[in-house]
């Protein structure tokens, strides 16, 4: 089911209480023995589903935040350069990204994978068979798992988000098989991020202007240490999810 390309990551992650590791028997689907030896809980995992045919250029993104048990969903139109997707990954900052693997779209998959690797080398890219990107299964899972506080109302806004729901289905299945995560009913919060009335920066400009990352920490432009990014100046949130929402 899963073919992964592991890239070294400098992030430190903590073990989550909702993850149960296998102590005996063969590794589950999508996992190797090396993964069992050195398995760490990521801070966030995202899935991407790209449109085909008449919907080519439409991209659905679903990201699970481990610290707040929140699913972040978004669907938008993008360019051939994937500039909006790359900017979205900059704000979500996932440790792993799942992309659909299909023999009918090898060129597109390679182009997407290369674009992510070129601009986000710290992200681990995982190829998932396209059949697991099922919008029907994604909606069925969300109806069972989302909390009652406005969750059902938000689901109505996803009725036409075909690729967003497809990405959600693949992500939840991956979390179940790769990290042995099983969710209680009504235990997941969802957040829908719309692209309307939003200003888009290309990734190079966002990094050059220091919108999210401090120049001093990233060693860009030769500015004196202590120069702060716009994000660090505005950051006054009390929770990790609040900080992630501010980034978006």
Q: How many residues does the chain have?
A: 248
| Nearest Cα residue to 107 out of 145, 132, 80, 72 | 80
| CATH architecture observed for domain 2-192 | 2-Layer Sandwich (3.30)
What integer pLDDT is reported at residue 50 of this predicted model? 92
Higher pLDDT, 156 or 180: 180
Span 112-151, pLDDT tens digits: 999 999 999 999 999 999 999 999 999 999 989 988 766 7
Beta bridge mates, 127: 3, 99
- Using the predicted structure, report yes or no on whether residue 168 has a pLDDT greater than 80: yes
Contact of 68 with 241, CB cutoff 8 Å = yes
Q: Which helix (H) or strand (E) holds 73?
A: strand 70-77
> Is pLDDT at 213 greater than 60 in this prediction?
no
Structure tokens, 63: 């990201």
The whole-number pLDDT of residue 221 equals 45
Q: What contacts 167, CB < 8 A, 6 or more positions away? A: 47, 48, 49, 60, 61, 62, 73, 98, 133, 138
Mind listing the pLDDT tens digit for each residue in 46-98?
A: 999 999 888 889 999 999 999 888 999 999 999 888 989 998 998 899 999 99
Question: If pLDDT is split at 50, 70 and 90, which confidence band does 170 have?
Answer: very high
Helical spans, DSSP H, in 184-239: 203-208, 215-218, 230-234
Can you tell me the mean pLDDT for 199-214? Answer: 62
Asked whether 236 and 243 are in contact (CB, 8 A), the reply is no
Q: Please list, in sequence order, all residues whose beta carbon lies within 8 angstroms of the beta carbon of residue 241, skipping any fewer than 6 positions away.
A: 65, 67, 68, 70
97 burial level (CB within 10 Å; 0-12, 13-18, 19+): buried
pLDDT level of residue 26 (50, 70, 90 thresholds): very low
Percentage, residues of the chain above pLDDT 70: 61
Mean pLDDT of the chain: 76
**3-state SS class at 75:** strand
CA distance 75 to 49: 9
User: Euclidean distance between the first and final Cα of the chain, in Å?
Assistant: 31
Q: Which of 179, 226, 237, 199 is nearest to 17 (CA)?
A: 179
pLDDT tens for each residue of 228-244: 556 666 666 667 666 66
Strand partners, 77: 58
In the chain, CATH 3.30.420.110 sits at 2-192
| pLDDT-above-90 percentage for the chain | 36
Q: How confident is the model at residue 38 (pLDDT cuts 50, 70, 90)?
A: very low
Is residue 6 pLDDT above 60, yes or no?
Answer: no
As a whole number of angstroms, the longest Cα–Cα distance in the chain is 54
How far, in Å, CA of 157 to CA of 75, rounded? Answer: 11
Rounded to two decimals, what is the model's pTM? 0.69
For the beta sheet containing 70-77, the strands, ordered from the edge strand earlier in sequence to the opposite edge, are 2-5, 124-129, 96-101, 44-50, 58-65, 70-77, 189-192
Q: Are strands 189-192 and 2-5 parallel, antiparallel or unpaired?
A: unpaired
């Amino acid at each position: 089911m899963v073919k992964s390309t592991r890239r070294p990551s400098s992030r430190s992650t903590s073990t989550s209480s909702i993850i149960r590791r296998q102590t005996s028997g063969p590794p589950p689907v999508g996992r190797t023995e090396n993964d069992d030896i050195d398995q760490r809980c990521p801070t966030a995992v995202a899935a991407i589903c790209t449109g085909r045919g008449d919907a080519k250029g439409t991209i659905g993104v679903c990201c699970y935040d481990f610290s707040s048990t929140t699913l972040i969903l978004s669907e938008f139109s993008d360019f051939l350069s994937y500039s909006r997707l790359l900017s979205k990954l900059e704000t979500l900052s996932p440790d792993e990204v799942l992309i659909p693997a299909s023999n009918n779209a090898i060129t597109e998959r390679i182009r997407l994978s290369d674009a992510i690797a070129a601009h986000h080398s710290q992200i681990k890219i995982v190829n998932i068979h396209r059949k697991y990107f099922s919008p029907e299964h994604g909606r069925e899972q969300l109806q069972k798992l989302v909390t009652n506080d406005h969750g059902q109302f938000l689901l109505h806004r996803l009725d036409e988000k075909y690729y967003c729901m497809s990405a959600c289905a693949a992500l939840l299945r991956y979390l179940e098989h790769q990290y042995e995560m099983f969710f209680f009913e009504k235990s997941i919060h969802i957040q829908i991020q719309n692209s309307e009335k939003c200003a888009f920066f290309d990734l190079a400009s966002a990094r050059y202007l220091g919108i999210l990352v401090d120049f001093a920490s990233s060693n860009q432009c030769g500015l004196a240490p202590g120069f702060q990014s716009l994000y660090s100046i505005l950051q006054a949130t009390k929770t990790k999810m609040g900080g992630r929402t501010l980034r978006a």
